[in-house]
Structure 1
Amino acid sequence: MANLGPTELILIVLVIVLLFGASKLPELARGSGRALRIFKAETKGLMDDDDEAPATSATPASQTQAQLEIEAKQRDLAARQAELDAEAEKLRRGETA
């Protein structure tokens, strides 16, 4: 992969534009960025969990419950954001709901 030249990179970008369309690229990049941030946060959390030993048995259970609640809220927000993005795209195209 280190041997990719400018011609190959241009060809890859053109194929991506043809597959997804120029209007979808910012949304695709935003989604990829969000996924990478979540992945990074989760891997950091796993490494922090390995470094720290729990002091009591009640603390991890409450943290786990809180984490589950946060993750559920994040999923809900992501679903709402997807709905809003779809509605915004319809408005940009001039469609009505």
Structure 2
Amino acid sequence: MPNLGAPELIIIAVVLIALFGWKKLPDMARSLGRSARVFKSEVDELKKDGKPVPSDAAKTTVPGDVVDADAERRAAEARLADAERRAAEARAEADRLRASSSAAAPTTPTTTPVSSTDDVRRDTTF
């Protein structure tokens, strides 16, 4: 291989600048450096015989609790049964209140007379 001196390097630099432009060369050099770093890390990984090495994230992750799906389902069913029981109690209370209010109320609905200045009809029946 011939020796590359200063004139040859200058000619190569001028050709690169002419081909890729002055603004693209720093980006290309940066990209080439990143690629070299990735290549080096992959070579280092192959030297370790493919033994998995835990990542930094794996070292700092807190282990979680094991979830028992059956226990979760039973707890959800218990919450549903409790909610249904409370809803039934609320309906029974509402029915009781309706029955007691209808027994105390007169049988004919009463309305207040509407004056000519009133735009709203007032009805006391429910």
* TM-score normalised by structure 2 residue count: 0.39
Q: Which has the larger radius of gyration?
A: 2
The structure with higher relative contact order (CA 8 Å, sep 6+) is 2
* TM-score normalised by structure 1 residue count: 0.49
Higher helix share: 1
